Amino acid sequence: MTYGYLWGENMEIIQKGFIFILLFTCSNLYAFQLSSLEGKLDKEDILKAIQRDEYLNNYFTNESAIAKFAQKKQCIRVYYPDYINYGVLKSKYRRAFKWAIDIPTNSDDIKTISELDALVKVKLLSKKTVLIKETLTRYSLTNKGWGATSLSYNGTFCFYLGRAKHLSIKSISKFKMPYYLNIKDTVYEVAVLVGLSDVSELPEWALHPDMREEFPLINKILSGYEKKIMMVNTNGLWHEYLTPSLIKKMEKYNRTPFSEYFQKNIPTTKKELLKKEIQHSATWQQEHGNPYWSCIPLPGDSSNGVEVDRKLGSGKKYSVAIFDNKKRSKWDTNETITKAYLDNLVSYGLLMSEYRNQIEGKKKEQGQYFKGTVYKLSQEYNHIFDEKRKCIYLGKGKANIVDLQINASNTSDLFDGRESAKYKYIITFPTPPDWAKDEKLQSLWPDLQGALKYGRACAGQSKVEDITEEGRLSGSCWWAFDSVGEL
């Protein structure tokens, strides 16, 4: 009886223990599954919050590191101060075809040459040999290259790849804040994979094998890389952690954290319509806006920035002077470059020159008299000067769109967060006047060659609604060649 009782009691205890273990195991398994599910939901919710915040209005509040990263331009930087040819570029090195890199043919800078040659292969740069005191290899922008250029976040010249996005979350962990900060919120450190979501988001030239080999950034943003973001959960909503000092600074300027602005979808048809509007507005500008848009510049014309010592006459005929006995600063290139170029045009027969002893100065030099050379159009080519426009008029040009980007996301290159278009176009002259078709003149005059070959480059940015109004294109235009600089 005693043994039976003890055995029965022990069996009851064993059964109860088994049931307890079973219930404990099941409850833990359920808790584990629930915890895993919650973790998965947390990742999804946090990623959605991060992707939402890519479009925050941070340009005006500066509160979001997420939005700052999303608006940062991913760029291939190609700017080598040691090799930049300032003789060609002068002050316009960021403009079309004013940008050039001259590298000595005996240079041992293999990396730089290899990078530039890769850009030549995808036709963003052209390459030729020039002789300036020594033999050099000159790399210059092409039409395609100019269309691909941008200014990076720090203002340097670059080829634009796109903007990276937050793609997925790799891990989430609690971040231990320093005790002296007295932070009550639980802050999480989120490791996020950032990059481009698809290969198609890259421009086609960036996918060339040589480009991917020479510029590691391309592969980096394609494969994605890790970035850390601090997040907090307030009342069930995830958002980026802001430091107390930043919140205090925002409150000082009456700014609300996370003022949201979301991107719109831009239909393809809208882009095509805008292209037509830009072309129409460019034509309107030539006819009713700036009468000098289609005028080939000579030294002394403000449109190409090549200065002379004195512009003579009433404007009915081209006439300029370069002084011999003028005290010059080291920045004054009138005697060393401009005069050499004008003398070339005299040797070609386009201009004629005469020496004068008494030429009055201008502005601060008014009342002073100098010796120097006066240059005018030769009798043979006087007829190319359009007296109505007071310039050498090449005729009506046609605008060819090189690049058009429509943005509604809150990036720093927009107007007050409103939808805007950035554009680049080249004005070409498919039907020039008869005098411009003169093969002899074309062979003699580099400016005419450049105008017909490269045209006039224009770049600007406008609010989309303004583009539909005639003459409302903003930006600037310039001749896409620099024959003076080629000296």
The dihedrals phi and psi of 337, each to the nearest 5 degrees, come to -115, -55
Angstrom distance (rounded) from CA 87 to CA 333? 10
The separation between the first and the last C-alpha atoms of the chain, rounded to the nearest angstrom, is 121
Region of residue 35 (phi > 0: left; psi between -120 and 50: alpha; otherwise: beta): alpha
pLDDT number for residue 6: 41
pLDDT of residue 24: 43
Whole-angstrom distance, CA of residue 346 vs CA of residue 335: 15
Of the pLDDT bands very low, low, confident and very high (cuts 50, 70, 90), residue 220 is: very high
Give the other-Cβ count within 10 Å of 248's Cβ.
Answer: 10
* Sheet (strand 149-151) strand order: 74-77, 157-162, 149-151
Q: Is the pLDDT of residue 364 over 60?
A: yes
Q: What is the DSSP letter of 391?
A: B
Q: Which of 375, 282, 360 is nearest to 321 (CA)?
A: 375
Torsion of CA 144, 145, 151, 152, to 10 degrees: 110
Range picked from 178-182, 233-237, 419-423 for highest mean pLDDT:
233-237
Architecture in CATH of 75-158: Orthogonal Bundle (1.10)
Distances (CA, A) of 25 to 19, 21, 48, 192: 10, 6, 34, 34
Whose structure tokens read 């100065």? Answer: 361
pLDDT of residue 101: 82
- pTM score of the predicted model: 0.64
For the chain, helix, strand, coil in percent to 5 are: 40, 30, 35
* The pLDDT value given to residue 275: 82
pLDDT at 180: 57
- Does residue 202 carry a pLDDT above 70? yes
Structure-token pair, residue 432: 């020039």
